[in-house]
């Protein structure tokens, strides 16, 4: 049976207005800094890579995987983006993905968007970066070292981001900390294993085919063309497979259901491509694939535009 992806991010109603505003301010501050930092850290060959990574993460996030006890998890992708692009470009990529999911696909609330960006594009990225950099000192740059720190960074990004979400729920009065924190930590510790495994597979493939993208090999002479075609091909394949996603609730939804605050979730005030189902297509599997392809193209285009504009703003970089 083909299924459509389930919504994955914090909806409106879970966070108080005050907490949401504070998280919006924090997220905007980091995004602004990240955009400025692109002028100092973005290499020419990273421009197409930003678009490809954004597209692949968007498509990968549509493939919820079953965990245990009737729940599911999904790729975050912050660790992979950080290891390929560095933290500042990864913040932009993750922000593009999360914002597109909320604005176009009604996945996550608009008021809660600042919190979702902060948890995934800020905490997810900088936890990944910190863990990866610490382990890099001890493990080196061989395949074993890359895989170990990639797995650790990926697992940590999921786990710490879930703790942040739990604390935000507690501060909002949605669920007491002594309930929200252990519940979110427990289920996301398991989801993090899936995140780590997916990251291992991606890093292994990149190491075998284009290790220069991991900054440890000679630059490939056809970097841009190869990355664009290969990466978008993989993203399209993931979008085509998206109807196979687990229909079980994701970790946050499961915790909300188990602890009695799921009914606090508010529906979006408008819809464009709700629940990753492209309107006007009667076949749900085809509608999901069409939504995935649309999302892949949107996030790739936005990331490329941001990267190109920042590069042109300071051509000497």
- Residue given tokens 């002594």 in the structure block: 178
pLDDT for the residue 1: 42
In DSSP terms, 244 is beta-bridged to: 3
Domains of the chain: 17-313 (1.10.1760.20)
Residue 222 confidence (pLDDT) above 70? no
Distance, first Cα to last Cα, the chain: 51
pTM for this prediction: 0.91
Environment class of 69 (CB within 10 Å of its CB; exposed 0-12, middle 13-18, buried 19+): exposed
pLDDT at 226 over 50: yes
pLDDT per residue as tens digits for the range 158-185: 999 999 999 999 999 999 999 999 999 9
pLDDT in tens, 295-312: 999 999 998 888 777 666
Does the pLDDT at position 233 exceed 90? no
The strand ranges marked E within the chain are 65-66, 72-73
Q: What pLDDT score does 182 carry?
A: 95
**Distance between CA atoms of residues 231 and 196, nearest Å:** 20
| Short-list 14, 12, 4, CA closest to 184 | 14
% pLDDT > 70, the chain: 90
- Per-residue burial over 31-49, b if 16 or more Cβ lie within 10 Å, else e, is beebbebbeeebeeebbbb
């Amino acid at each position: 049976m083909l299924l459509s992806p389930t919504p994955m991010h914090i909806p409106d109603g879970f966070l108080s207005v005050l907490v949401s505003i504070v998280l919006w301010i924090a997220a905007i501050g980091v995004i602004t800094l990240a955009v400025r930092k692109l002028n100092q850290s973005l290499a020419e060959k990273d421009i197409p890579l930003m678009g490809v990574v954004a597209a692949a993460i968007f498509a990968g996030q549509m493939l919820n995987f079953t965990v245990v006890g009737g729940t599911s998890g999904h790729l975050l992708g912050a660790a992979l983006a950080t290891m390929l692009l560095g933290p500042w470009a990864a913040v932009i990529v993750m922000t593009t993905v999360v914002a597109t999911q909320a604005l176009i696909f009604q996945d996550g609330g608009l008021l809660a968007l600042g919190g979702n960006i902060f948890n995934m594009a800020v905490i997810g990225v900088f936890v990944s970066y910190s863990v990866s950099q610490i382990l890099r000192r001890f493990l080196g740059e061989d395949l074993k070292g890359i895989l170990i720190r990639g797995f650790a960074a990926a697992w940590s990004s999921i786990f710490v981001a879930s703790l942040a979400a739990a604390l935000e729920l507690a501060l909002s009065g949605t669920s007491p900390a002594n309930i929200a924190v252990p519940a979110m930590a427990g289920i996301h510790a398991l989801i993090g294993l899936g995140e780590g495994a997916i990251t291992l597979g991606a890093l292994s493939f990149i190491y075998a085919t284009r290790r220069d993208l991991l900054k440890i090999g000679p630059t490939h002479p056809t970097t841009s063309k190869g990355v664009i075609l290969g990466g978008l091909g993989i993203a399209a394949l993931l979008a085509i497979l998206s109807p196979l996603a687990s229909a079980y609730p994701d970790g946050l939804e499961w915790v909300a259901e188990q602890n009695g605050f799921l009914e606090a979730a508010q529906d979006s005030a408008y819809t464009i491509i709700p629940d990753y189902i492209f309107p006007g297509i009667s076949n749900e599997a085809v509608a999901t694939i069409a939504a995935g392809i649309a999302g892949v193209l949107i996030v790739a285009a936005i990331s490329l535009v941001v990267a190109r504009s920042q590069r042109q703003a300071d051509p000497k970089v």
